[in-house]
Structure 1
């Protein structure tokens, strides 16, 4: 391991953007511009409990691996829930925070978490595991975690001291549909009728939807969207959300080619909006907001319009975020997600390992049950 070295970075801007991009190119959320916007807008900081602490691995002077990382002082905005672990620590008079997390803040999208450019990746993984565990001991972290990594990476890093945890999300797959009617034809008659009825309610309420992309999105559009986002969070949870107007404006400046903004309008007035991201294969539905709670508006804007967009633009996948069993009847299939966890405290590690083993069994059963409820015709 002595042939490798490492360095921590407290700002993504300290890492050359072109270098970072040469390692991360699988989703928009690990792009340098996205992570930089979070930092520049103050959405992630020591004050917010998301203290940037990115890791670079070197061989001599050359960077051979990068990890987006954060020192966490709570568990908000992670979507892999460990509140019960933190509570158990507290009940025993121990501190669960800080912990270190490799992941993307506020974004339950699986992707590359440790990007390696080396002909012996197993040796690099071993070094990373050694460095993370040694630093946890040195800085008194309760442990380290890697959220929403690919299955291959989860398998490579799972060991006696690194636990692999499973979750389930729901995603829509484009089976080469020609249009929305073609997609509907793949459903059972009862489900097809239900979806048509929901979409008809939008037409009956005289609501129209406008798609904006790339250069067609301006600063004012993002400000309007930010208003909807904050208002919806405020109604639902009593705070303005994790993200601010400055963040959305920075996205428009630096990542417009990856953005899809959808406005729902009634009599010319914008009443709701969604902001999604895209790449060559996938639409990622991320944020939504509205001033009005109208019948079927959420389903139309957050799901059906995304499906339409994917079919129109021949995208293979619509990733609509975390949770949501209501997505099953709308054709979203259950898929596994993977995370990794190392806990320093030996006894807690054993207890959490036992919990994760039982949880994995539950998740496998849950996924099978969800698959049995899918609305597609039997082949």
Structure 2
């Protein structure tokens, strides 16, 4: 397939065709517009976006036109339909001089560069900013499916940007298993290091296409709204019928008690005790969705959110205006859980985003939390148990509470594999970083297996460990 790409610094490409609905709210145009409008992404934030627009050429395309649309267009302005043939995909790339808001860390790689007196910055990152959620990393036009040709064109665009800004590498964070598999099949995963080093020794850089795509894997924890068994595959699609519904023997829970019944007696007792402790402190919890969240609610929520950072002596990445813009543009994806004390004053808040319940693999995402004081077990109640109850009530299939934390594991959140892709442009560092990634994958596989063994389910609901992919 003959695909071309253009490098753009604005979002005018959104008007060129009809785009598919993203698989998570964090890749919605509304979410990204809120980030941009409030300065969370942009040059001042150190998240300078470049958009790689992949398209099929039209009859008017020429070599000169394509050159103008690629290597000379890091500061491109609006495109016209005459310049672009048929847009099929867009991949965002950020030019960054730091690691903030990423959750897949490469500090050790930066230190290695520094030890040799080399610059690790700028570096290129493709991610949903500040969001450790697995999902699509390209916007696709209606009728398109991510394949090897599209990904190769996207990586060619990445290589172009890297050459222009002299980036050390590219990092695709929390990509889907499908994207990781396509990258492995379509792009080199190893390098002829002797040839590459000889080229660099002679002052000739290795051709980017010869450089490999490296993979790191991680572990997050995911709650599933269904009864599990020894035959479960721990795969989002394993127990779905052709219409995307759970099979009859994997029906969603009717209520929170139905979920608790799948746990070992000791774990059920612990969770009930934690919920009881919250009530004994005179605290009640409420949930509000979308337009029911008031201006006062947002003010109080943000006060709580800021406290999460203040206790660590940090400033939050996101502003109150950002959350208000989400409320104005995508309220159907927002749920706010609040904790109120005996005086009916809000003392803690937790903001969730969620997919529409009728979408395939509809998921609740736990994202932003904060409290105005220390309260026994309140974090577990507001960030996990309220989320589980909401997912059950709404008929959502999954609950993704965010990154890290064995405390999620013992509350029924299952260890699952995450993927990130990496491309290093200095061939001298590729062998060491490749070895690092291989050892890291092995370590994380062992960690996931150990975490799986600690799951709190009773024998009738304990799923079979399957780490092949998720």
Aligned to 2:387: 306
Q: Counterparts of 1:119 and 1:199 in 2: how far apart (Å)?
A: 45
Q: Any idea what the Cα deviations from partners look like across 1:7-41, whole Å, max 9, x if unmatched?
A: 223234x3326947x23421000000001100100
Shift of 1:119: 7.1
- 1:108–1:18 distance in 2 versus 1, CA, 3 Å: farther
Aligned to 1:254: 329
Q: Any idea what the Cα deviations from partners look like across 1:225-266, whole Å, max 9, x if unmatched?
A: 11111122111x212211011101111111111100111100
Q: Any idea what the Cα deviations from partners look like across 1:343-373, whole Å, max 9, x if unmatched?
A: 0011211111001001111111100000000
Q: Any idea what the Cα deviations from partners look like across 1:93-115, whole Å, max 9, x if unmatched?
A: 11111111111110000001124
Match of 1:74 among 92, 95, 98: 98
Q: Counterparts of 2:289 and 2:16 in 1: how far apart (Å)?
A: 24
The TM-score normalised by the length of structure 1 is: 0.95
Match of 2:125 among 89, 101, 104: 101
- Bigger radius of gyration: 2
Q: Counterparts of 2:439 and 2:293 in 1: how far apart (Å)?
A: 47
Decide whether the 8 Å contact of 1:276 with 1:285 is kept in 2.
Answer: yes
Aligned to 1:326: 407
- 1:18–1:35 distance in 2 versus 1, CA, 3 Å: farther
Decide whether the 8 Å contact of 1:283 with 1:310 is kept in 2.
Answer: yes
Higher strand share: 1
Q: Counterparts of 1:229 and 1:73 in 2: how far apart (Å)?
A: 26
Decide whether the 8 Å contact of 1:11 with 1:39 is kept in 2.
Answer: no
Match of 1:344 among 401, 408, 425: 425
Q: Counterparts of 2:98 and 2:292 in 1: how far apart (Å)?
A: 38
Q: Counterparts of 2:13 and 2:349 in 1: how far apart (Å)?
A: 34
Q: Counterparts of 1:258 and 1:18 in 2: how far apart (Å)?
A: 26
Match of 1:32 among 7, 12, 29: 29
Q: Any idea what the Cα deviations from partners look like across 1:56-82, whole Å, max 9, x if unmatched?
A: 112122211111221111011101111
CA-based RMSD of the aligned residues comes to 1.6
Match of 1:263 among 338, 344, 348: 338
Decide whether the 8 Å contact of 2:52 with 2:154 is kept in 1.
Answer: no
Aligned to 1:16: 14
Q: Does 1:217 align with 2:293?
A: yes
1:269-284 alignment to 2 at 5 Å? 269-279=345-355, 280=357, 281-284=362-365
Residue segments in structure 2 that go unaligned for 5+ positions in a row? 58-84, 190-211, 227-251, 461-470
Q: Residue 346 of structure 2: SS of its match in structure 1?
A: strand
Q: Counterparts of 2:95 and 2:451 in 1: how far apart (Å)?
A: 35
Aligned to 2:258: 182
Decide whether the 8 Å contact of 1:11 with 1:54 is kept in 2.
Answer: yes
Q: Residue 410 of structure 2: SS of its match in structure 1?
A: helix
Higher helix share: 1
Decide whether the 8 Å contact of 1:68 with 1:104 is kept in 2.
Answer: no
Decide whether the 8 Å contact of 2:7 with 2:157 is kept in 1.
Answer: no
Q: Does 1:244 align with 2:322?
A: no
Q: Any idea what the Cα deviations from partners look like across 1:287-336, whole Å, max 9, x if unmatched?
A: 00110110001010000110111111111100000001111110000000
Aligned to 2:160: 134
Q: Counterparts of 1:102 and 1:172 in 2: how far apart (Å)?
A: 26
Q: Counterparts of 2:334 and 2:353 in 1: how far apart (Å)?
A: 5
